[in-house]
Structure 1
Amino acid sequence: KALPMFAAERAGLEALASTGAVRVPSPLAVGADEAHSWLILEWLDLVPRDAALDARLGEALAHLHRHTASRFGWEEDNFIGATPQPNRWNEDWLSFWREARLRFQLELLRRNGRGTAAFFARAERLLESMDAFFAGYRPAASLIHGDLWGGNAAAAGGTPVIFDPAVYYADREAELAMTELFGGFSRAFYDAYQATWPLDPGYATRKKLYQLYHLLNHANLFGGGYLAQAEVVIDRLLSEVGA
């Protein structure tokens, strides 16, 4: 069962490495036999990042995001954690985020028997109101790590390292929103990113829309309080647009 996940991770690491912008562990082999699947990576002696390394990571991430495509998505579907992540190419970012990210997770919640009718009704209102968050803003399709929380970033040999990606071409704001959702990055990281490629002022509101994807995914994976957090975010976003 794990082989497709390992193959997708290898492809993601190779894509990140090919940019020359960020350090990742090199994938050496992927394989399987009747009982096991495996992914063999380059060994790195990982240590925590300090503020100086966080600043270097912020700058490197901005350089990564300069690698762009003409469409949003990826050449194949992959995984966000253990959840399938559909990546069918789409020239329209709002359509991609609405359908391939938020609606996909909402349908998984329905199938998993989580969420009330009222919750899904409010979520649908949000999907129908998304255009309001993008007035005057048209994002580039940037290559992103896709699952960048504090546990997927460290340092080795004096260089920041990121790993366990879920890559696709996206609005780069989606990457920064993920880093803020679960923490683990210092002020130096954000200051360095902003100094290298400043974010649009509308990010302060849109980041909640991007964090919602990961909250829904965690609700599908783990249940618990993540669904309640998603409800709070949906209500906050609806209040922003008066829907």
Structure 2
Amino acid sequence: MPPPDTLTPWLAERLGVELVDCWPVCGGCIHRAWRLDLADGRRLFAKTNTTSCLPLLAAEAEGLQALAAAAGDEGPQVPVPLAHGISGRSAVLVLSWLDLERGQSAAKMLHWFRLGAALAQLHRRSLLHACVPSDSPRRVYGWPMDNFIGSGPQPNGWQEHWGRFFVERRLAPQLERLGRCGNPLERTERLLAWAGQRLGEHRPDPCLVHGDLWSGNVAVTCDGRGTIFDPAVYRGDREVDLAMARLFGGFPRAFFDGYSEEWPLPADHRRRLNLYNLYHLLNHANLFGGAYLNQCQASIDGLLALPG
């Protein structure tokens, strides 16, 4: 999809900026990504898609705003959402431009260490930036509205019990979606019961989590600061972010060392790691099918074979 012809007047109306050039850049697998060159020499970043995808871009903007508020000066750098809406026949999200580091360097491990520490600071500070209904208990999990994990739906709402939230709003909808699409997995009812028991006594702090923290959604800027983007935010167990950071290739060890130095995880956090990552495997099975279906079944079988 090319940039919409109406993008120049749309930017002028929404942001008061003059667009002089627009270049495609590498982005994700969902939207088209663009570098916007402005008349005053600045750059912006934009994503475009069909108008039906506006809810995805609006949810992304909301998530970035929440992360930025919790990050403060010490947390990871977060792109600033500047505008989103419909321009001609396209949905558009405009963000601040970040110069990302390319390639490897000896200093990069230090940058990853600092990013881990910065994420821990964001998680901790988010406890002071609660986004919960005024009539709800302080210790609740979820988000005010549904959003997206990749291009898949992510149900939210509020729940006082973390285990119930993770089973009912994360695992069960993914399993039901697979079944509706003709890809049912085996022993799913037993898995949901087991997951509820495994998380039954776990009472984590309801931190703001990125929610989709794999290596494609983080980077290091040219000035050495870590940045996170493309979130699927909600309030939950901070361990979900650290678990996914080990999935799909994983982050360098320096990242986990930096996080641990700032805010160590509970000693038993590995008991929940594969359970938390099952959510992302199920989502990939729903989005892409193929080998992910077998990987999900193997994960379920492995979890049910665990002692205790």
TM-score (norm 2): 0.74
How well do the aligned residues superpose, as a CA RMSD in angstroms? 1.5
Q: Deviations over 1:167-193 (max 9, x none)?
A: 000111111111111134111101111
Inter-partner Cα distance in structure 2 for 1:220 and 1:135: 27
Inter-partner Cα distance in structure 2 for 1:36 and 1:206: 41
- Residue of structure 1 in register with 2:212 after alignment: 147
Structure 2 residue matching 1:240: 3-state secondary structure: coil
1:171 partnered with 2:171: no
How far apart are 1:110 and its partner, in Å? 1.0
Inter-partner Cα distance in structure 2 for 1:34 and 1:110: 37
1:129 partnered with 2:194: yes
Larger Rg: 1 or 2?
A: 2
- Residue of structure 2 in register with 1:6 after alignment: 57
Q: Which has the higher contact order (CA 8 A, sep 6+)?
A: 1
- Residue of structure 2 in register with 1:221 after alignment: 287
- Residue of structure 1 in register with 2:84 after alignment: 30
Inter-partner Cα distance in structure 2 for 1:17 and 1:187: 25
Q: Quick one: which amino acid aligns to residue 194 of structure 2? A: S
The number of aligned residues is 238
Q: Displaced runs of 4+ in structure 1, greater than 3 A?
A: 134-137
Structure 1 residue matching 2:142: 3-state secondary structure: coil
Inter-partner Cα distance in structure 1 for 2:216 and 2:65: 20
1:110 partnered with 2:175: no
Q: Deviations over 1:81-102 (max 9, x none)?
A: 0001111111110110001000
Alignment of 1:1-243 (within 5 A): 1-19=52-70, 20=72, 21-48=75-102, 50-66=108-124, 67-68=126-127, 69=130, 70-116=139-185, 119=186, 122-134=187-199, 137-156=202-221, 157-241=223-307
Q: Where does the alignment leave 5 or more consecutive residues of structure 1 unmatched?
A: none
How far apart are 1:55 and its partner, in Å? 0.4
Inter-partner Cα distance in structure 2 for 1:123 and 1:40: 41
Normalized per residue, the structure richer in helix is 1
Q: Which moved more, 1:189-198 or 1:208-217?
A: 189-198
How far apart are 1:130 and its partner, in Å? 2.1
Is the contact made by 1:151 and 1:184 (CA closer than 8 Å) also made in structure 2? no
Is the contact made by 2:64 and 2:78 (CA closer than 8 Å) also made in structure 1? yes
Q: Where does the alignment leave 5 or more consecutive residues of structure 2 unmatched?
A: 1-51, 131-138
Q: Quick one: which amino acid aligns to residue 24 of structure 1? A: V
Is the contact made by 2:76 and 2:225 (CA closer than 8 Å) also made in structure 1? no
Q: Quick one: which amino acid aligns to residue 156 of structure 2? A: N
How far apart are 1:241 and its partner, in Å? 4.0
Is the contact made by 2:141 and 2:159 (CA closer than 8 Å) also made in structure 1? yes
Inter-partner Cα distance in structure 2 for 1:212 and 1:111: 19
Percent of counterpart pairs with the same letter?
A: 52
Normalized per residue, the structure richer in strand is 2
How far apart are 1:135 and its partner, in Å? 6.4
Inter-partner Cα distance in structure 2 for 1:76 and 1:41: 22
TM-score (norm 1): 0.93
Inter-partner Cα distance in structure 1 for 2:249 and 2:67: 22
Is the contact made by 2:243 and 2:276 (CA closer than 8 Å) also made in structure 1? yes
How far apart are 1:17 and its partner, in Å? 0.6
How far apart are 1:141 and its partner, in Å? 0.6
